[in-house]
Amino acid sequence: MAVNSKFFSRYTAPANFFQMNPCRIAVGSTRRPKLQAVHEAAASFSSGLSPDGQLEIQGYEVESGVSHTPVSRQELMQGARQRAEALCGMLAGGSARADYFVGLEGGLNVVSENGERRVFLESWAYVSDGVRGHFGCSGSIEIPEALAEEVVNGGVELAVAIDRFAGAVGIRDGQGAWGVLTKNLVPRQESFRLAVLTAFAPFYNAKMYRAAAAAES
């Protein structure tokens, strides 16, 4: 599968001039909000992954293997994980390589609380180094019942429904449903940034996670 080179970029943290073997992060999406979320998150923890802080981030088109709008936490997590796994398989044995594979999935989580249906918008990330993987989540925001009715009951894709709901076009490539519902206090990109930050924690804070594992054994 061809690489969409339009979305290739490099983040370099302040370090000495001669830098070698950057840490490469492959992302299972070419959508700008998702890629920018990874860029912003990675800028915060680059030194925890690469001694000189040099990272390369590249997006690829892969399938999630789940519905266009997941409607459960299980499906959201499955979609994120399957994107990362598909990306890992796609790059295996090729000239392109990566140290970390990132799958991102956004959608709905339908729950019952006190006998009422509540529907939440969530963004999930799954990060793998090819051997082990970890999840991270953005948190949740409850969506209006009218929007939930259209997506959950009517089967309309969230991207289509939110455009109708907000009276705009192409919202998912900008502020997203998150931005519409929070008056842009939490745009889509920010929701994925938090998911990526938390999913990467066992890698950039490996010492703490190893200590916790040792204490349990």
How many percent of the chain have pLDDT more than 90?
A: 79
Per residue in 99-145, pLDDT (tens digit) is 999 999 999 999 999 999 999 999 999 999 999 999 999 999 999 99
Backbone phi, psi, residue 107, to 5°: 170, -155
**Token pair 């842009």 is at which residue?**
184
Integer Cα distance of 68 and 35 in angstroms: 19
Q: What is the CATH number of the domain that holds 129?
A: 3.90.950.10
Average pLDDT score over the chain: 90
Residue 154 is assigned to a structural domain of this protein: no
Range of the domain at 210: 5-143+195-216
Residue 153 is assigned to a structural domain of this protein: no
Residue 27 is assigned to a structural domain of this protein: yes
Other Cβ atoms closer than 10 A to 4: 14
Element containing residue 204 per DSSP (H, E) = helix 188-204
* pLDDT at position 118: 98
Residue 151 is assigned to a structural domain of this protein: no
Residue 155 is assigned to a structural domain of this protein: no
Task: Please give the structure tokens belonging to residue 18.
Answer: 């001669």
Per residue in 146-203, pLDDT (tens digit) is 999 999 999 999 999 999 999 999 998 999 999 999 999 999 999 999 999 999 999 9
Is the pLDDT at 6 greater than 50? The verdict is no
Q: Are 141 and 180 in contact (CB under 8 A)?
A: no
* pLDDT at position 12: 53
Residue 169 is assigned to a structural domain of this protein: no
Residue 67 is assigned to a structural domain of this protein: yes
Residue 60 is assigned to a structural domain of this protein: yes
Number of domains in the chain: 1
**Model confidence, pTM:** 0.87
